[in-house]
């Protein structure tokens, strides 16, 4: 089986890449180990620069009706359990743009819309329920064997197959990993107080507790939650009876949206920062979590991944697709930027983890200063979006 591009991985990043390159006219095979029945309880916040990529892939018109705008990013410092918030910094997109910072969409909806778009593209084949296994490359092509024995020849392999990518070690690319000793609990809640399109990070200790707006559910305001805590604490919390868990999340949210009601199963995953040594090798490039893993703070993870895709789309040319010059240009364009974002988000995470009162006081003071100086505030907002 021959193709222009083989995409290893059919998550949000992989399906977006399949839709984008298929829309551009390339022959694409997307190999997805998941099955259509598998559910993902998380949501994804797309920041402004990502919308252009979604639009070019023919996805945004179908996704927008399911998206909750993120007009305000709010950071709340709440020093201890039961205490009123000590410092609140609101970053409003109106200060730098006519559009919201971004839009948040449930992952199940994303996968449904993206899979439908890929199915409509005549040059794209979406293979589910199997994965990539072995890789062989030479100067002119790559040969990939799937776990079901199928063999595919491609001019370019895009590894979008996650932090445990099988294609990355097959290409001889190493990684450097930092473990924070945390886990993230991910779930959905409803609440009596409307979120007013405000995304809120509440900092106390252990890591941030983030409430991200979603469209209303059953006539009630709804938000996605990512709660980062020390690993043993996170697992203890996850095992609580529902009423006790709801009391814990309401307390941890500083009561900003009233009593929180659990509206989904609770997912859990470890928090790491991971960076590949290179963004590509012969006839292969890494993107998304195969290349870089960031703690889930500030919606930086997938948006860094879509910056990878934007670079690939810009560098792709039918005459030179997958050649050494393209691979090297992609590495130079994306590696330093992704590494800098990983380091910045890692520092923010460590600041949010501290439970020492003097360091909490310093964190609150710095937050107030960053928000209080208007030019600095606008600069930080642009930096978070990845624009100048």
Domains parsed from the chain with CATH numbers = 2-39+108-177+273-348 (3.50.50.60), 65-104+179-271+353-385 (3.30.9.10)
- 374: helix, strand or coil: helix
What per-residue confidence (pLDDT) applies to 22?
A: 97
pTM of the model: 0.87
Cα-trace Rg, the chain: 21
What per-residue confidence (pLDDT) applies to 377?
A: 43
What per-residue confidence (pLDDT) applies to 360?
A: 52
What per-residue confidence (pLDDT) applies to 34?
A: 82
Q: What is the pLDDT of residues 24-57, one digit of tens each?
A: 999 999 999 986 655 666 788 898 888 999 999 9
CA atoms within 13 A on the CB side of 97: 19
Residue 301 burial by Cβ neighbours in a 10 Å radius (0-12, 13-18, 19+): buried
Task: Report residues of the chain scoring pLDDT below 50.
Answer: 82, 358, 363, 368-373, 376-378, 380-381, 385, 387-388
- 330: helix, strand or coil: helix
Output the six-digit token pair for 52. Answer: 């252009």
Q: In angstroms, what CA-CA distances link 153 with 61, 139, 140?
A: 33, 13, 10
């Amino acid at each position: 089986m021959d193709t222009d591009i083989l995409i290893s991985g059919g998550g949000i990043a992989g399906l977006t890449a399949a839709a984008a390159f298929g829309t551009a006219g390339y022959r694409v095979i997307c190999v997805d180990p998941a099955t259509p029945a598998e559910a993902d309880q998380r949501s994804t916040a797309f920041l402004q620069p990502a919308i252009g990529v979604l639009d070019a892939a023919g996805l945004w018109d179908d996704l927008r009706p399911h998206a909750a705008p993120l007009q305000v990013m709010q950071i709340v410092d709440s020093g201890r359990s039961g205490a009123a918030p000590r410092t609140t910094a609101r970053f409003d997109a109106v200060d730098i743009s006519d559009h919201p910072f971004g839009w948040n969409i449930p992952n199940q909806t994303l996968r449904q819309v993206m899979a439908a778009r890929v199915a409509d593209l005549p040059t794209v084949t979406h293979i589910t329920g199997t994965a990539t296994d072995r890789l062989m490359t030479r100067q002119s092509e790559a040969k990939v064997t799937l776990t079901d024995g199928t063999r595919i020849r491609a001019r370019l392999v895009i590894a979008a197959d996650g932090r445990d990518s099988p294609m990355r070690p097959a290409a001889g690319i190493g990684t450097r990993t930092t473990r924070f000793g945390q886990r993230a609990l991910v779930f959905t809640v409803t609440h009596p107080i409307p979120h007013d399109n405000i995304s809120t990070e509440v900092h106390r200790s252990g890591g941030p507790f983030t409430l991200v707006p979603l469209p209303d559910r059953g006539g009630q305001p709804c938000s996605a939650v990512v709660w980062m805590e020390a690993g043993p604490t996170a697992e203890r919390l996850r095992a609580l009876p529902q009423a006790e868990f709801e009391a814990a999340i309401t307390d941890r949210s500083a009561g900003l949206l009233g009593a929180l009601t659990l509206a989904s199963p609770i997912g859990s995953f470890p928090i790491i920062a991971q960076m590949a040594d290179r963004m590509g090798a012969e006839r292969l490039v890494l993107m998304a979590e195969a290349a870089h893993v960031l703690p889930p703070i500030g919606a930086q993870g997938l948006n860094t991944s879509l910056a990878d895709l934007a670079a690939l789309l810009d560098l792709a040319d039918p005459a030179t697709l997958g050649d050494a010059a393209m691979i090297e240009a992609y590495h130079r364009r994306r590696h330093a930027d992704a590494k800098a974002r990983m380091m910045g988000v890692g520092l923010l995470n460590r600041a949010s983890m501290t439970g020492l009162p003097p360091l909490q006081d310093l964190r609150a003071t710095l937050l107030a200063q960053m928000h209080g100086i208007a030019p600095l505030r606008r600069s930080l907002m642009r930096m978070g979006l990845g624009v100048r």
